[in-house]
Structure 1
Amino acid sequence: MTELRIGVVGVGQRALLATLAHRPGTSRVVSCADPDPRARDHAREIFGAETAVHDRYEEMLDDGLDAVFVLTPDDRHAEPARRFLEAGVAVFVEKPLAITVEECDDVLATAARTGTRLYVGHNLRHLPVLRRMRALIDDGAIGQVRAVWCRHFVGHGGDYYFKDWHAERARTTSLLLQKGAHDLDAVHWLAGGYARTVTALGGLTVYGANPRRDTPTEQRVTEWFDRSVWPPSTLTDLNPVVDVEDLSMMLTRLDNGVLTSYQQCHYTPDYWRNYTVVGDAGRMENFGDGIEGDPAVVRVWNTGRSGYRADADLTIEVSAGDSAHGGADAALVAEFLRFAAVGGPTDTSPVAAREAVAAGVAAAHSLRAGGTPVEVRPLTPELAGYFAAHQKKQ
């Protein structure tokens, strides 16, 4: 296999993901684009002075690329993704695929029409603790799954999501979509289905009163992040526009009858995800998620009834990798490079990525309508069939 020529659109917060694809001899980042001069300088620093650097991604189409990473802000995913798919370049789109269902469907339709390979960066499908839980489900450890609950404690939420464009509905739709797309995809994956009925409640309960800047920041997260600020109500210099919710709760019924819940809070003191999976013959739960090198344990109760007991019937310590997101990022990029080069099944799924966005959009509509149930429109059978045939492991 010849060395893959890789491009990167957007050299911002997630650009380090693309450094995992800079493997001279196997794959090499040869072209980048970003309208920000500082980001273009950063591209040369992390990928080398010989890398072609542009201010417009359209100029990258002349650089002979085999694959491209689209790492722009969320509201700017769809257009470059479509452009490179049209050019026959394999595309990695950072999650979420887009911020509207319509844009997601347009990207999927472009991939199907052109036959170009499309991959979406849902790295939680490669997170060791979640992969262990999925394996236990597949082995029948808790019987048939009936419910999945996810609580997401976003301890650094104020710094990560309320000081820049993430705080604006126009740029994200909602944090149930932007931040939640990870977890909604994981919940769907553990449950084996996609949300079809959604209801949600939530609000801007803390950060609505915090002091804001007059103009958007040109800083990066690493330059403003301060773990010592406590309590969250004392956080300052928020984005000029803050109109997304900092506390959200949603309920769904999936197309296979499984019921799920997802709760997201952006001002907890701790930062981790807790998944509980309830079957008709047991229950499992993770304690710690291993994302930041923290310990992670999966506990399973499945031998009979009891009162409270911390000593589970099965306790599994899960080792995380030594790279970002517990090794999930490295596994994600490796899978994409293999897929871009030779195709074949993948643990991520463009259809599942679209369904995560659809659930997040429905939840945002429901929340802002006082909890009114919203029905989720499924993907057309034609598009679903195309990806089922061309990316069999969904």
Structure 2
Amino acid sequence: MSVGDGMRIGVVGAGARCKLALNAIDPAVTAASVAARIVAVADTTPQGRTRAAQIFGDDVAVVPDVSSLIDQGVDAAFVTTPDFTHAELAVQLLRAGVAVYLEKPLAITIEGADEVLRAAYESGSKLYVGHNMRHMPVVRLMRRLIQDGAIGQVKAVWCRHFVGNGGDYYFKDWHAERAKTTGLLLQKGAHDIDVIHWLADGYSVDVTGMGDLAIYGDVTDRADNSGRVMGDWFSYDNWPPASQTELNPVIDVEDISMVSMRLDNGVLASYEQCHFTPDYWRNYTVIGTEGRLENYGDSAGGTVRVWNKRTSYNESGDASYPIPEGEGGHNGADALTVAEFLRFVAHGAATDTSPVAARNAVAAGVAATESLRDGSTPRRVPALAPELLDYFAHHQKRRGVA
């Protein structure tokens, strides 16, 4: 690739997340990374190809499959297809010498995740997994406070995720099917599990899960939404949860779930998600040897509060830090991950995301899902092969946990 000619970008999948790739040609992003242009979009459906032409314009080739996209001579590709296709598509691109921005989660099985990492290892192609939460201002603020010693050594991390948009986001399409997601403790939870690992500087080794399909399984109004995308049906008027309409014909994933984790450095952690709450945000509590911190809100206007003195109830904490505002998707995190990806591909620059971390989040989510469906029996999280750990430690530069 000649950086001077501009990086040639392809997009695989013209669904709800494909607009993420537009950040690659946003001057505000490219000015901080490298010039790039989108030259091709691949989608296997007629509706997707029509949507691709509308979003990306007449100058971009619209093709029916990944092989055709590779034939367009792309340097890098954004994979924004449904989760169950991630591993196969990423492997094909990596083995063809194309750098890959792979939407999270990395895969829906541990085997699939390991296959993607092995393809990057064997091909030498660059792999970046879009765990954009590592660039969300609230997460970066919490991590900075921890690294600055605000609460001492981390000993516990708790996360409650109120997924108020769950009925629209996850129960009207393929997300609702085990065969296509494994479960939402993986699909949704992998993102927060990755953040927990990052804040704690460790990876889960033992997990125990619990969950249920408490609400949406009883909703009888079903529809085939395969020709639509989430924006076509999303509405805050879809409330209360039991009155939802046009849910996916197959619903066999849990709408409330939780996992307890023991990390390799001794930190204890828990993650809970509920898809029928009225509000939509995440709450993290991190407890250390000299205090604790907690976020109130997870975007601009919220705060991260620190307690590091003995007290009874103290709502405001001993110190309060405003969550910075970011522009664009996920409070600015989407643009920042894309810029980081472009710098990584063009210059080998360091990244705050990690393929190994992405794999370990998937592995913890899969093991937790197996546990909750087997009477909450404890599960050991399988370790990544040593040669892959060594490769990504020495041949793919990055900051933070790896």
The answer, yes or no, to whether TM exceeds 0.5 is: yes
User: Are 2:82 and 1:73 equivalent residues in the alignment?
Assistant: yes
After TM superposition, give the deviation of residue 6 of structure 1 in Å.
0.1
After TM superposition, give the deviation of residue 47 of structure 1 in Å.
1.6
Residue type of the partner of 1:362?
A: A
Asked if 1 retains the 8 angstrom alpha-carbon contact of 2:127 and 2:355, the reply is: yes
Q: Which residue of 2 aligns with 1:123?
A: 132
Q: Which residue of 1 aligns with 2:20?
A: 17
Task: List per-residue Cα deviations over 1:169-195 (Å, max 9, x = no partner).
Answer: 000000001111110100100011010
Asked if 2 retains the 8 angstrom alpha-carbon contact of 1:299 and 1:312, the reply is: yes
Asked if 2 retains the 8 angstrom alpha-carbon contact of 1:217 and 1:239, the reply is: no
Q: Which residue of 2 aligns with 1:5?
A: 8
Task: List per-residue Cα deviations over 1:103-155 (Å, max 9, x = no partner).
Answer: 11111011011111100000000000110100111111100000000000000
Q: Which residue of 1 aligns with 2:315?
A: 310
After TM superposition, give the deviation of residue 61 of structure 1 in Å.
1.3
Match runs of 1:211-226 below 5 Å: 211-213=220-222, 215-226=224-235
Residue 298 (structure 1) aligned to one of 294, 304, 318: 304
User: Are 2:347 and 1:342 equivalent residues in the alignment?
Assistant: yes
Residue 170 (structure 2) aligned to one of 154, 161, 176: 161
Residue 101 (structure 1) aligned to one of 102, 110, 122: 110
SS in 2 for 1:20: helix
SS in 1 for 2:151: coil
Aligned structure 1 segments of 4 or more residues deviating by more than 4 angstroms: none
CA distance in 2, matches of 1:29, 1:171: 28
CA distance in 2, matches of 1:184, 1:285: 16
After TM superposition, give the deviation of residue 57 of structure 1 in Å.
1.3
SS in 1 for 2:258: strand
Worse overlay, 84-93 or 265-274 = 84-93
Worse overlay, 58-67 or 35-44 = 35-44
CA distance in 2, matches of 1:117, 1:343: 9
Match runs of 1:73-92 below 5 Å: 73-92=82-101
SS in 2 for 1:135: helix
Aligned positions, number: 390
CA distance in 1, matches of 2:55, 2:348: 28
Residue 379 (structure 1) aligned to one of 365, 384, 399: 384
Q: Which residue of 1 aligns with 2:374?
A: 369
Residue type of the partner of 2:253?
A: V
CA distance in 2, matches of 1:104, 1:237: 32
CA distance in 1, matches of 2:44, 2:74: 20
CA distance in 1, matches of 2:342, 2:14: 19
Residue 241 (structure 2) aligned to one of 205, 225, 232: 232
Task: List per-residue Cα deviations over 1:333-360 (Å, max 9, x = no partner).
Answer: 0000111111132000000000000010
Asked if 2 retains the 8 angstrom alpha-carbon contact of 1:32 and 1:43, the reply is: yes
CA distance in 2, matches of 1:226, 1:126: 27
Asked if 1 retains the 8 angstrom alpha-carbon contact of 2:354 and 2:398, the reply is: no
- Name the TM-score, length of structure 2 as normaliser: 0.95
After TM superposition, give the deviation of residue 214 of structure 1 in Å.
5.2
Q: Which residue of 2 aligns with 1:46?
A: 55
CA distance in 2, matches of 1:31, 1:285: 43
SS in 2 for 1:329: helix
Asked if 1 retains the 8 angstrom alpha-carbon contact of 2:223 and 2:247, the reply is: no
Task: List per-residue Cα deviations over 1:2-38 (Å, max 9, x = no partner).
Answer: 2000000001010110111124881011011001212
SS in 2 for 1:91: strand
Q: Which residue of 2 aligns with 1:274?
A: 283
After TM superposition, give the deviation of residue 216 of structure 1 in Å.
4.5
Asked if 2 retains the 8 angstrom alpha-carbon contact of 1:19 and 1:46, the reply is: no
Worse overlay, 306-315 or 354-363 = 306-315
CA distance in 2, matches of 1:216, 1:23: 31
Residue type of the partner of 1:4?
A: M
SS in 2 for 1:153: strand
CA distance in 2, matches of 1:102, 1:217: 27
SS in 2 for 1:97: coil
SS in 1 for 2:251: coil
- Name the TM-score, length of structure 1 as normaliser: 0.97
Residue 250 (structure 2) aligned to one of 241, 256, 269: 241
CA distance in 2, matches of 1:218, 1:212: 18
After TM superposition, give the deviation of residue 215 of structure 1 in Å.
3.6
CA distance in 1, matches of 2:83, 2:229: 16
User: 5+ residue gaps in structure 1?
Assistant: none
CA distance in 2, matches of 1:358, 1:164: 24
Q: Percent identity over the alignment?
A: 58
Asked if 2 retains the 8 angstrom alpha-carbon contact of 1:211 and 1:235, the reply is: no
SS in 2 for 1:307: coil
Q: Which residue of 1 aligns with 2:327?
A: 322
CA distance in 2, matches of 1:39, 1:214: 19
- RMSD over aligned CA atoms reads 1.2
SS in 1 for 2:314: coil
Worse overlay, 152-161 or 214-223 = 214-223
Task: List per-residue Cα deviations over 1:309-338 (Å, max 9, x = no partner).
Answer: 113111000122121100000100000011
